[in-house]
A and B are shown apart, each in its own frame.
Chain A
Amino acid sequence: MMLSIRNLHAEIEGKPILRGLSLEVGAGEVHAIMGPNGSGKSTLAQLLAGRDVYKVTQGEVLYDGRDLLAMPADERAREGVFLSFQYPVELPGIANSYFLKAAMNAKRRHHGRPELDAMDFLTVARAKMKLVGLSEELLHRSVNEGFSGGEKKRNEIFQMALLEPRLAILDETDSGLDIDALRTVAEGVNSLRSPERAMLLITHYQRLLDYVVPDRTHVLAGGRIVRSGGPELALEVEERGYKSMEEHNAPGA
């Protein structure tokens, strides 16, 4: 298993958010995690990526058999964990190209590969930008500064394409996108599916899953997974809402 989450409990400022979450994700698999607001979806995404505001009180997370929680965020990233942020952060004054080259080279150094120079980087970047329909001009603007909502999300997928993660976590990548942008992003994500790469799609709505069809779908409620199934589960959520699932599968029930 690439990712094994076992009985994970986590809290923030003493408030429990995750309460016994377990999940197994193998290489090449795409899992969708759906859930209502406050179910712990974003906590799970951020915690896996290494945000240290959450306190794990029980359970473990193994990434390729290694203790993921023991690794600092930057090391996780260099080891191939990527988070597409729900709210990408602006970095004023730092050119997107500079930032991405630094990120790519941090990873390359970590794996003992030679660093890319500016020319190599541009060649790679140009090719990958086409994937998500971003104009090259965005490379020269400050990271996410003044980007539209859609540009920010596409920029995340562009970064994912560049950094070629093994485990990609997409946190509400579909939120705030109009239908055309959603389709472009979905195409980008689909093109990055590969037998070596696992993906976790975290979403509130089913609509992204029309375009990126997951291998497995899970419903998260009250900090744990209450239902798991195939792609059809997403449709059931869409039809019947989260309410019914929460009622039948409340934690401790």
Chain B
Amino acid sequence: MSGGQDARQLVESGEYKYGFVTDIESDIAPPGLSEDTIRLLSAKKNEPAFLLDWRLKAFRAWCKMSASDGEPKWANLTIAPIDYQAISYYAAPKKKEALASMDEVDPELRATFNKLGIPLDEQMLLAGVAVDAVFDSVSVATTFKSKLAEVGVIFCSFSEAVQNHPELVKKYLGSVVPISDNFYAALNSAVFTDGSFCYIPKGVRCPMELSTYFRINAQNTGQFERTLIVADEGAYVSYLEGCTAPKRDENQLHAAVVELIALDHAQIKYSTVQNWYPGDKEGRGGIYNFVTKRGKCAGAHSKISWTQVETGSAITWKYPSCILQGDHSVGEFYSVAVTNNHQQADTGTKMLHLGKNTSSTIVSKGIAAGQGQQSYRGLVYVAPGAEGARNYSQCDSLLIGDRCGAHTFPYIDVRNPGAQVEHEASTSKIGEDQLFYCQQRGLSAEDAVSLIVNGFCRQVFRELPMEFAVEAQKLLGVTLEGAVG
């Protein structure tokens, strides 16, 4: 690694002092990654020693991976090389320059907001217009927090959790996704700057759906986000990630890690609507969304349910998974992934059945349009001791046009003779006859496509919280706009 060298040179050359030592707004580290960068980052965030050690271990693991195989190559994706030394790994909470009024917002973005039917107040918030006067997000967040505190729910940024609840962070961080799990997870573990932390105490049913929505506007969590959610015995939480409005982000690479832990009889429902910038119609730009999401059903009768609607990003590499360790635990994965224009997605799940009488359900709906490429990749593993394990998988692909592709890579590894594993898959094209039928009833071609696609995705949408489902439907329409010529 030449990263350490580079950083040192920068320090020596004096350029560095405009980076970390100054404590003004432009608090951005010079590009490059080394142990020094990590030490500085950790010190900057005033982190306890255990966390620095953990980061350094992750960094060394990542260096080893970089030196040998590098990024995972097995996905059905074409990825331009990424220069990890060209990325800046620490930026203080970015203050985006607030725009004075809605008139300054990109007209294309505004048009999309309008199509999604997002109220003006929210539009301003999402577009980064100074909204304090119009929309008091601070007071909303405060009401929110006091209500949660009443029942003992901890919901804060990861950095706050490190300061205020180090024992919980130490206990659970990396317990589901170990530092050397994969290339991107190792990188994230070494350099993550912030994210969300959530702890639901024993027997508490979280009184509201938790969402990163409010917090994200207060603080840009950057490209290496870390989320940790722990549901203690008998607890329940529904967590919503992302917002449905298009998020323009200057970061090209997003390597996030999400860990969920459910103890005995606990339930976690995690819903994502991801609509990051997909690049333009020619495939220029767009986010690389390389995310490791995994939940551990550590306790008996626990349940973890992933629901994702992935419509954005240029490249998506994402496999929200469940480790079904507790007896009678349940894992679910419901997914809609859409690729249009030049988008690529390789996404799916892993269901690892370790405990007895564990069960899992996988419903994956892939939609490819334009020249989009779409792969479902899933593993169902049943360990020798997982008596009575059951899995049902359904993977359907829908093609729009004849230049796109859909692929399915189901891996099934069953080591217990009593397990029951079912897999169904289908690939269909939006039929001319379906389109004509809808048009003959007065629907425009675009409305017809959106209707057919929504019908195709219904099994997944009904798993989403109500408002999310409505917006996901609209979003699908926007994403597929122009898919039928």
Inter-chain CA distance A59–B194, complex, in Å, is: 70
| Chain A proximity mask over B299-337: 1 for CB below 8 Å, otherwise 0 | 000000000000000000000000000000000000000
* Residues in chain B near residue A102, CB distance under 8 A: 443, 447, 451
Pick the contact of B431: A76, A89, A159 (CB < 8 A): A89
Count A-B pairs with CB separation below 8 Å: 73
Could you tell me the distance in whole angstroms from the C-beta of A113 to the nearest C-beta in chain B? 13
In the complex, B392 has a CB within 8 A of chain A: no
Main secondary structure of the interface of B (DSSP, over half): helix
Q: Closest A-chain residue to B436, C-beta based?
A: A51
Contact residue among B431, B442, B445, B454 (Cβ-Cβ distance under 8 Å from A94): B454
Closest chain A residue to B434 by CB distance? A89
Question: Is A83's CB under 8 angstroms from B447's CB?
Answer: no
Contact string against A for B residues 422-460, beta-carbon threshold 8 Å, 1 for contact and 0 otherwise: 000000000111101111111111011001101111110
**Interface-centre pick from B436, B447, B451, B457 (highest chain A CB count, 10 A):** B436
A100 and B458 CA atoms in complex are apart in Å by: 17
62-91 of chain A: CB within 8 A of chain B: 72-74, 76-78, 82-83, 85, 88-89, 91
Residues of A within 8 A of B432 (CB): 53
Q: Could you say which residues of chain A place their CB within 8 Å of the CB of B438?
A: 91, 99
Report the bound CA distance from A102 to B452 in whole Å. Answer: 12
B439 touches A103 (CB 8 A): no
- For A103, what are the chain B residues with a Cβ–Cβ distance below 8 Å? 441-443
Q: Cβ of A130 < 8 Å from any Cβ of B?
A: no
User: A73-B439, A73-B440 known; A92 and B433 CB under 8 Å?
Assistant: no
What are the residues of chain A within 8 A of B459 when measuring CB–CB?
A: 93
Instruction: Give the residues from 147 to 206 in chain A that come closer than 8 angstroms, CB to CB, to chain B.
Output: 159, 163
Please name the residue on chain B nearest to A109 by beta carbon. B442
Residue A126 interfacial (CB < 8 Å): no
Q: Could you tell me the distance between the alpha carbons of A106 and B431 in the complex, rounded to whole angstroms?
A: 21
Instruction: Tell me the minimal C-beta distance from B359 to chain A in angstroms.
Output: 24
Minimum distance in angstroms from B140 CB to a CB of chain A? 30
Contact of B452 among A50, A85, A91 (CB under 8 A): A91
| Complex contacts, A159 vs chain B, CB 8 Å | 441
User: Which of A49, A72, A142 interacts with B455 by CB under 8 Å?
Assistant: A142
- A76–B439 CA distance with the chains assembled, in angstroms: 9
Query: In the bound complex, what is the Cα–Cα distance between A74 and B447 (angstroms)?
Result: 11
Q: Which residues of A contact B434 (CB under 8 A)?
A: 89, 91
CA distance A74 to B435 in the complex (A): 10
Asked whether, in the complex, the Cβ of A72 is within 8 Å of the Cβ of B439, the reply is yes
Determine whether A107 belongs to the interface, using a CB cutoff of 8 Å to chain B: yes
Q: Which residue of chain B has the shortest Cβ distance to A103 in the bound complex?
A: B441
B443 contacts which chain A residues (CB < 8 A)? Answer: 74, 102-103, 106
User: A107 to B455, Cβ gap below 8 A?
Assistant: no
Q: Kindly provide the distance from the CB of B479 to the nearest chain A CB, expressed in whole angstroms.
A: 18
Q: Tell me which residues across on chain B come within 8 A of A88, comparing CB atoms.
A: 437
Tell me which of B441, B443, B444 has the highest count of chain A C-beta atoms within 10 A of its own C-beta: B441
Could you say which of B442, B443, B452 has the most chain A C-beta atoms within 10 Å of its C-beta? B442
Residues of the B chain whose Cβ atoms lie less than 8 Å from the Cβ of A142: 455
A106 and B456: CB pair below 8 A? no
With A and B bound together, what is the CA distance between A73 and B444 in angstroms?
A: 9
A50 pairs with B451, CB closer than 8 A: no
Instruction: Select one of B442, B451, B456 contacting A77, CB under 8 A.
Output: B442
A110: interface (CB < 8 Å) = yes
Which of A89, A106, A110 sits near B447, CB closer than 8 Å?
Answer: A106
**Beta-carbon nearest neighbor of A106 in chain B:** B442
Assess A99 versus B441: contact at CB under 8 Å? Given A89-B431, A91-B434, A91-B455: yes
Return chain A residues, CB-CB under 8 Å to B439: 50, 72-74, 77
CB distance from A115 to the nearest CB of B (A): 13
A159 to B438, CA, bound (A): 12
Contact B441 A85 (CB under 8 A): no
**B441 & A163 in contact (Cβ 8 Å cutoff):** yes
Q: Return B166 CB to nearest CB of chain A, in Å.
A: 48
Known: A99-B451, A103-B442. A93 touches B437 (CB 8 A): no
Do B444 and A106 touch (CB < 8 A)? yes
A92 vs B396: C-alpha distance when bound (angstroms): 12
- Known contacts: A73-B436, A89-B433. The answer to whether A94 contacts B452 by CB under 8 A is yes
Cβ of A110: which chain B residues have Cβ within 8 Å of it? 442
B451 partner residues in chain A, CB cutoff 8 A: 91, 94, 99, 102
Per the bound structure, the CA–CA distance linking A103 and B451 in Å amounts to: 11
How far is B457's CA from A180's CA once the two chains are assembled, in angstroms? Answer: 37
* Across the A-B interface, the 3 shortest Cβ-Cβ residue pairs: A93-B455, A94-B455, A103-B441
**Chain B interface (Cβ < 8 Å from any Cβ of A):** 431-434, 436-445, 447-448, 451-452, 454-459
Given contacts A74-B445, A93-B454, A106-B441, 16 further A-B contacts (CB under 8 A): A50-B440, A74-B444, A77-B442, A83-B440, A89-B433, A89-B434, A89-B437, A91-B438, A91-B452, A93-B456, A93-B459, A94-B454, A94-B458, A102-B447, A107-B442, A163-B442
Interface residues of A (CB under 8 A from B): 49-51, 53, 72-74, 76-78, 82-83, 85, 88-89, 91-94, 99-100, 102-103, 106-107, 110, 142, 159, 163
- 8 A–B contacts, CB within 8 A, in A order: A74-B443, A85-B437, A89-B436, A92-B456, A94-B454, A102-B443, A106-B442, A106-B444
